[in-house]
Amino acid sequence: MAAGSDELTWDQLVARALELAEQHGINSDQSYGLHGTSDLVTQAALQVILPVVNGNSVVLIDQANPDFDAIKKQEKLEQIVMLG
């Protein structure tokens, strides 16, 4: 995956995903919602890589003014991760 002019290996992407999981308190096998935007590497790490390597499930929340409590309950999410 290219990030700017740098190429990242799978291992580097996995390391970034695990770093973000720790930073946001996302545990293995946990379901979480993701709202907002960020750089491509962060988006890929949280949307694709972390679910693959950590057994997580993610719900992308793209509403402008979402009711997070209702979404957490409906989707059975343990937390919402806010980006940007």
Q: Tell me how many domains the chain contains.
A: 1
Q: Which helix (H) or strand (E) holds 6?
A: strand 6-7
* Chain position carrying tokens 């402008």: 64
Tokens for 23?
Answer: 């930073």
DSSP readout, 24-53?
HTPPTT-EEEEES---HHHHHIIIIIHHHH
What is the domain extent for residue 44? 2-82
- List average pLDDT for each run of 10 residues in the chain, which is 84 residues long: 71 96 96 95 96 96 94 96 93
Q: How far is CA 40 from the centre of its chain?
A: 11
pTM of this structure: 0.85
* Chain position carrying tokens 């962060």: 42
Q: What is the pLDDT of residues 43-66, one digit of tens each?
A: 999 999 999 999 999 999 999 999
